[in-house]
Amino acid sequence: MKIMGVDHVTINVRDIEASMEFYGSVLKLPFVETVDMGDHEITYYKLSDTTNLELIRYKFESDEMKTGQFTKGVYRHLALAVDDAQEVFERLKASGAEIVTEPSYIEKLGFTGFLFTDPNGVEIEAVQRA
Give the pLDDT confidence of 6-57 residue by residue, as tens digits. 999 999 999 999 999 999 999 999 999 999 999 999 999 999 999 999 999 9
Band (pLDDT 50/70/90 cuts) for residue 88 is: very high
pTM for the model = 0.91
* CATH architecture observed for domain 1-60: Roll (3.10)
pLDDT of residue 25: 97
pLDDT of residue 66: 82
Burial class from Cβ neighbours inside 10 Å (0-12, 13-18, 19+) for residue 75 reads: exposed
pLDDT of residue 71: 86
DSSP-derived pairing of the beta strands 52-58 and 8-12: parallel
Mean predicted lDDT score pLDDT of the chain = 95
- Express as a percent the part of the chain with pLDDT over 70: 100
Kindly list the domain boundaries of the chain, sorted by start residue: 1-60, 76-130
pLDDT of residue 57: 97
Burial class from Cβ neighbours inside 10 Å (0-12, 13-18, 19+) for residue 65 reads: exposed
CATH entry, 76-130, from 3.40.1640.10, 3.40.190.80, 3.30.720.110, 3.20.20.450? 3.30.720.110
